[in-house]
Each structure stands twice: as C-alpha cells, then as structure tokens.
Structure 1
Amino acid sequence: MNNIKKKYIVYIVVATIIVYATVRYFGTVESYILRVTNTLMPFVAGAIMAYIINILMDSYEDLLLKKFHNKKIIRTVSILLSIFTFVLVIGLLLGLIIPQLVKIMFSIMYTNPSDIKKIIESISKNNIVDKIADIMNVDINNIDISGYVTKLIHSVMSSVGNILIGVISGISGFFNTVISVFMAVVFAIYILVDKERIAVQGDKLLRAFLPSKRDTVIDVLSIFNKSFRNYFISQVKEAIILGVLLYIVMLIVRLPYASSIAILVGVTALIPVIGAYAGLFIGALMIITKSFSSMIIFIIVHTIVQQFENNIIYPRVVGSSVGLPGMWVIVAVALGGSLFGIFGVFVAVPVAASLYFILKRETLKRL
C-alpha cells in the first residue's frame, strides 16, 4: 500500500510541475507545440491519404485476387492503381474547375461599365423579377440597383485582389509545400504496404498496456472505421449522381458552363449541408456573366435537381449507411466547422454518427 501511495504522490508532483511549467512558460511551450504540429502535419495528411486510398486499394485487391494469387504483386499493383486513380481524379477536377474560376474572376474584374449597365437593365426589366417584386410588395424602380451592384463588384474585386496577393505570397513557400506533399505520399505508401503489420503492432500495444480495454478499443475503432467508410463512399456516389443529373438538365435547357458547373456542384456536394449552396452560388456567379435570365433558370434547375436528388435518390443510395438523424447532422457540421474549419465540416458527420451509435447502443444495454 505504501508503494502505491508513493507512486501516486510522485504522479501528482510530476503533473503539478508540468502544469506550472506550462503556465509559467506558456509562450515557449506554445511555440514548441506549433513547431511539432507543423512537423507532423505531412504525416497526418499522409495517414488521411492512406485511409482514402485504402478504400480504392481494397476494391482493386478483391478484383485482382479473382485472377492472380501472388499477394505481393497484387498489393504492389493495387497500390499503384489506387494512387494513379486518386491523383487522376484530383488532377481532372482541378484542371476543369480552376481555369473556369480564374476566367470568371478576371471577367468580373475587367467588366466594362456599359456591360454592368446592361446587366442592371436586364435585371430591372426581367418579368420574373417584376413578379417576385409584386408578390413582396416592393417597388423595384425606387431601389438603387446600380449602387448595390457597384458595391458588390467593388467587394468582389477587393476580395479577388486579396486572394491574388495571398497566392503571390504563397509562392515563396512552394518548395516547402512540394516537400510536405512528397513526404505525405511516401508515408501513405508505407502505411498501405505495411497496414497488416501496423495493425498487429497496435494490437500488441493494447495487449501489453491496456489488456482489459483491448476489446473495447478495437470495437470503438471498428465503429468509427465503418462510419467513415460508409459516409465517404455514399457521399461520393451521391455527388457523382447529382453532378451527372445537373449536367444532363443543363444541356437540355442549354445553359452555359454545363460541364464545369456540374463538376463543381458535384465536388462541393461532398461538403455536407453547405456544399450545395456553395456550388449554387459559384455556378450562378459564372452564368450571370453570360445572361441574367440564364442565371435565374440555373437557380430553378439546380433547386429542382437538388430536391429530386435529396428526396428520391439520396435515401436509396445512402440509406441508413451513416445512421445520424438530420437534426444532429446540422449540429455536427456547425460545431465541426466552428472548431476545425473546413476539415471539421468534412469529418463532423461520421464522427457524430459513430458517437451517436455508441451512445444509443450503451443506452439500450442499460435499459
């Protein structure tokens, strides 16, 4: 008993010293934490990349195992095919979207005043706008549309200028970014090659240091893994279907930028809740440079396609793969975004779904 008491006293003293040193030298501790975090970021990115690529790799391995039996060759070929597919998809998306976004930014920056005046006149004389104004009891003739549009363009141009300044300043760190990406890719490959060995090592650590909690830890990890995989696969399927549907409808009604906007909306649809609105806003901004009437048609088309997809296709494709009620999806996305930004928005739903499943299961056990 005395030895146990002495051990706890030592723990308390050490913890007290650590807390005091952290508070006393908070600035130094914070700088070291930031340095360690920045150093580990490529490896964290590599682990995330490996997790996503592993989903593709499992599919390729299942396909190749039907025809070949050499596991080393199958693993090597599956990794190469998975990385090639991952890079190809990212490259195609960036190659199709970025040029269009750059084009729209420059078209806004160099818009002639006469063109702005024509757009304003087309808005004020548009029948749809007149009907909406009549319903809302708004006299559109007394609204200073020109002033509002001018302020909007100035704000957009200033934002574009800030973005360009940020891009120019970011070029100085280009080589550091290249090195970080290279390290992340190499680390991801190491994880994919030795994933079974890593799993065995993790199991040994659990048996050595947490033998009584081993089954619980493995169970929780399997729940999180299943939730993330189901969420990622279902979101990708939903995004592809939404993009294809929007592309077909935009071709039918002859709207401009059909392929670029469809891909953009499909990519932004991967972001839960706010993604669809982001795609709608950027798509409308792209189309308004061609025609205001086309923009109105695009908003209507996008809304109809999205409602059809959400109410008819989404339940069939996604179903109960995540198992999180809609109310908690909104709460999870808002909380994740406020705490961790865009990364938090992406991971909030599967994390919340996993915690919801665990809490629900434990509640049913206790009842």
Structure 2
Amino acid sequence: MQGYQKLDKIVVRYILLVAALTLAIFNYKLIFAWVGKLWMVMTPIIAGFVIAYILNILMVQFERILWPHKKQGYWQKSRRPLAITLSLLTILLVMLFVIGLVVPQVYNVATEAIKAFPVFISHVEKWTHQLERLLPDNSNPVMSRFEIDWSTMLSNFKSWTNDFLSGFVNTTLSTVGSLASIIVNGVLALIFSLYLLMSKEKLIDQFLHVLTTYVSKKRSRKILYVLTTLDEAFTNFLTGEVIEASILGVMVTLGMWLFRFPYAGMIGVLTGVFALIPMLGAYISGILGMVLISVHSISQAFWFLLFIIILQQFEGNVVYPRIVGSSLGLPGMWVLFAITIGGGLLGIPGMLLGVPIASALYRIVKRDILERDGYSYSQRQAFLRHAPDDSFQQIAKDEAKSINP
C-alpha cells in the first residue's frame, strides 16, 4: 500500500511538472516580460551582491593584516570598517590610475583624428573624382549591359553617411539620458554591498539556520558543498585573472616601449582591463590598439598587431595555464566551451561567469564520479588536488604507500 502511495506521489509530481512546462511554453512572452521587469527592479540588488563579493576578497586579506589576534574591544570592532575602507580605496586608486592613463591619451588620439579628418575627406573626394574619370561611361555598349548608375551609388553613399551620423548623435543623447539612472543604481548597489559586508557573518548564520530548518541534513550538505565549490572557483578565477591581466598589461607596455610604438601606457592598461575576459580579451584589446595606432601610422599598426599576436601566443601557452589554469583545474577545451556558451547567452558577462561555473561543475561531477566508483575520501581529495592530466592510479598508489609503507 505504501509503495502505491509513493508511486502516486511521483506520478502527481510529474503531471504537475508537465503542466507547468506546458503553461510556460504557451505563455513564454508573458514570462519573459515579467522576468525582464523583475531583472530591472533587482539590478541594484544583484549589482550589490557582485560588488560585495569582489570587495570581500580584498577585505579578507586586509582583515588578516589588521591586528588579527585582537578578538574583542575597540580593535576588533574597527577591523571590519577599516578593511572595507581600504578595499574601496584600493579599487578606487586602481580605477583612477586606469582613467589617468587612458583618458588623456584617448583625448590626444581624438584630437589627432579630428585634425586628420578634413585631410581624409579631401583624399576621399579626390579619390571619388579620379574614380569617376576612370569608370567607364554607361554609354559604352559593354558596360550598358550591367546598368550601373555610378552617380546614384555615390548619392546613396552620401545619404548612408548622413543617416549614420544622425543615428550616432541620437545614440549619444540617449546614452547621456540614461546616465542618471546608472548613477542612482550604482549608489544603491554600493550601499547595499556595504550592508552585506558589515553583517556578513550574521547573514551566513541566518542562511544556515533557514537551510537546516527546511532541508534535510543530507541535502543541506550537498547544497553547502556546491556553494563552497562555486565560491572557491569564483575566488580563484578572479584572483588568477587579475594577476594574469596585470602581467599581460606590463608585458604589452614594456614591449611597446621597447619597439617604440605610440600610446604604450594607454594600450597596455586597456590590454590589462580587457584581459579579464578569458582568452578573447587580449585579441579585443589588440584590435582596439591597432585602430588607435592607425591614426598615427598604418605601418606601425600592422607591426603592433603582429607583436600582439606573438605575445598572446606566449601568454596563452605559458602564463595563463600556470596562473589561471592551475587554480581552476579546468582543461583548455572546457574553458573555450564555457566562454562560447556564456558569451552566446549573456555576452561579455557570460564570458566572465562561464569559466568559474564550468570549473565548479567540472569539480562537482568529477567528485561524484569518484564517489560512485567507490574511492575513499582521502583518495578523492588527492585526485581533486592534482591537475586533470595526472594519473589517478599513480596518486592512489602513492597514497597506499604512505598508509602502508
């Protein structure tokens, strides 16, 4: 009888699941609209969680330095606010350093481009007149078969240019109009992140209390393991990416100074910033740098692109695997897979989120496989600590020798 009741519950669950999926499929437009509105409302809160998570990495490091042995009194109470302040100042100084290097040189590039623009237009006009003289007349019996009206093509080109400029102006105005909303959401997100950091331990205790109250002990352990694995993956990814991006930015700057490329400081900083996007960021910054250098010299832009390609090969094969790859424990094929899927779904944020999520899933699935194969806890930990290319059999043999020499 109990077996039938259990079977009936399972059937009811599946029926409800199918019904819910059917309703979702037939009302997907309404669901997407509702999710979009919810996302707009939740944007400051989500951004606050992200800011708090990033600040927490720095805050923990500062708390280890600021009189860590003081457990009570004034020093213990002032440790957290001071650590948060130092974390904010660190990020602010980095942002000011980047802006101070990039903005003046971008202004110089824009000034040079504006000065060169009339010359460029005159060259285009001369080229157009030369083209009109070189192009055959439609009265030619051979060319008349193609029915090409060159004057119409030139007028279409001019109208397309005017449409592009008007669209650019409208886009700029709309961007300026939404700037106030971005500032308000940013301030709200920062305030919310500070509340999260100040009451971090209390919030964690409340979450654990709710989890253990409504979820069984076995499932609570699994949920906590998944959350801990995700936290380790994101922390290792962010730390490794920042170190790797800093190294790449320094290498680009020194190389550009060595080969006497223009805008070395600005492009080096941009390379370091874009390098936070796994694998693709350096190429994006390379193309952007080539465009900026082309304002100064086309030939130097070509040699710069060649320099970036060679440097990226060294960085991708030597620096990245040692710093980021070793901390994530994720094979290169899955890194590329995570970037492709994440970028296709969410763009640049998806590229940033895809790699640590894939690393956590890879680690969780690998541990589950080892558990199902019957390996001991110590053997699983030994395997998970090693690189994916290491042989598990050799690790197990070494561990057996250490237990029974």
Same fold per TM (> 0.5)? yes
Alignment of 1:166-205 (within 5 A): 166-205=171-210
Distance 1:361 1:16, change over 3 A: closer
Q: Equivalent residue for 1:122?
A: none
Deviation at 1:243, TM superposition (A): 0.7
Q: Deviations over 1:34-61 (max 9, x none)?
A: 2222111110001001001100101111
Distance 1:329 1:315, change over 3 A: closer
CA distance in structure 2 between the partners assigned to 1:340 and 1:249 by the alignment:
34
Q: Equivalent residue for 1:59?
A: 61
CA distance in structure 2 between the partners assigned to 1:255 and 1:181 by the alignment:
37
Distance 1:196 1:162, change over 3 A: farther
Q: Equivalent residue for 2:257?
A: 251
Match of 1:86 among 75, 83, 91: 91
Match of 1:355 among 357, 361, 367: 361
3-state SS of paired residue (2:326): coil
Instruction: Kindly indicate whether the alpha-carbon contact (under 8 Å) linking 2:48 and 2:190 is maintained by their aligned counterparts in 1.
Output: yes
Q: Which moved more, 1:28-37 or 1:224-233?
A: 28-37
Distance 1:19 1:295, change over 3 A: closer
Q: Equivalent residue for 1:333?
A: 339
Instruction: Kindly indicate whether the alpha-carbon contact (under 8 Å) linking 1:105 and 1:160 is maintained by their aligned counterparts in 2.
Output: no
Q: Deviations over 1:11-55 (max 9, x none)?
A: 899889977876777655544432222111110001001001100
Deviation at 1:105, TM superposition (A): 5.4
Distance 1:254 1:26, change over 3 A: closer
Residue-pair matches, total: 336
The root-mean-square deviation of aligned C-alpha atoms, in Å, is 3.5
Instruction: Kindly indicate whether the alpha-carbon contact (under 8 Å) linking 1:228 and 1:350 is maintained by their aligned counterparts in 2.
Output: yes
Q: Equivalent residue for 2:371?
A: 365
Instruction: Kindly indicate whether the alpha-carbon contact (under 8 Å) linking 1:109 and 1:157 is maintained by their aligned counterparts in 2.
Output: no
Instruction: Kindly indicate whether the alpha-carbon contact (under 8 Å) linking 1:247 and 1:262 is maintained by their aligned counterparts in 2.
Output: yes
Instruction: Kindly indicate whether the alpha-carbon contact (under 8 Å) linking 1:108 and 1:157 is maintained by their aligned counterparts in 2.
Output: no
Alignment of 1:156-175 (within 5 A): 162=167, 164-175=169-180
Q: Deviations over 1:36-93 (max 9, x none)?
A: 2211111000100100110010111111135865222010100111112123323432
Alignment of 1:15-30 (within 5 A): 29-30=31-32
Alignment of 1:73-112 (within 5 A): 73-101=78-106, 104=109, 107-108=112-113, 111-112=116-117
Deviation at 1:252, TM superposition (A): 1.5
1:318 lines up with 2:324 in the alignment: yes
Alignment of 1:218-229 (within 5 A): 218-229=224-235
The amino acid that maps onto 2:344 is S
Mark the runs of 5 or more structure 1 residues left unpaired by the alignment: 120-153
Match of 2:302 among 260, 285, 296: 296
Deviation at 1:353, TM superposition (A): 0.7
Match of 1:278 among 281, 284, 296: 284
CA distance in structure 1 between the partners assigned to 2:118 and 2:44 by the alignment:
47
Q: Equivalent residue for 2:154?
A: none
Q: Deviations over 1:287-316 (max 9, x none)?
A: 111112221221232233323333333333
Deviation at 1:361, TM superposition (A): 1.5
Instruction: State the TM-score, normalizing by the size of structure 1.
Output: 0.79
Deviation at 1:100, TM superposition (A): 4.0
Distance 1:197 1:339, change over 3 A: same
Deviation at 1:185, TM superposition (A): 0.3
Deviation at 1:203, TM superposition (A): 0.6
CA distance in structure 2 between the partners assigned to 1:235 and 1:13 by the alignment:
46
Instruction: Kindly indicate whether the alpha-carbon contact (under 8 Å) linking 2:279 and 2:316 is maintained by their aligned counterparts in 1.
Output: no
Distance 1:163 1:184, change over 3 A: farther
3-state SS of paired residue (2:221): helix
Instruction: Kindly indicate whether the alpha-carbon contact (under 8 Å) linking 1:234 and 1:317 is maintained by their aligned counterparts in 2.
Output: yes
1:235 lines up with 2:237 in the alignment: no
Sequence identity (%): 32
CA distance in structure 1 between the partners assigned to 2:161 and 2:292 by the alignment:
13
Instruction: Kindly indicate whether the alpha-carbon contact (under 8 Å) linking 2:325 and 2:331 is maintained by their aligned counterparts in 1.
Output: no
Q: Deviations over 1:157-210 (max 9, x none)?
A: 987875553231122233222211111001100111111111111111110111
Q: Equivalent residue for 1:263?
A: 269
Instruction: State the TM-score, normalizing by the size of structure 2.
Output: 0.72
Instruction: Kindly indicate whether the alpha-carbon contact (under 8 Å) linking 1:68 and 1:74 is maintained by their aligned counterparts in 2.
Output: no
Instruction: Kindly indicate whether the alpha-carbon contact (under 8 Å) linking 1:336 and 1:345 is maintained by their aligned counterparts in 2.
Output: yes
1:306 lines up with 2:312 in the alignment: yes
CA distance in structure 2 between the partners assigned to 1:200 and 1:174 by the alignment:
38
CA distance in structure 2 between the partners assigned to 1:314 and 1:160 by the alignment:
41
Structure number with higher relative contact order (C-alpha < 8 Å, ≥ 6 residues apart): 1
Distance 1:195 1:169, change over 3 A: same
Distance 1:316 1:342, change over 3 A: closer
Q: Which moved more, 1:1-10 or 1:264-273?
A: 1-10
Mark the runs of 5 or more structure 2 residues left unpaired by the alignment: 125-158, 374-405
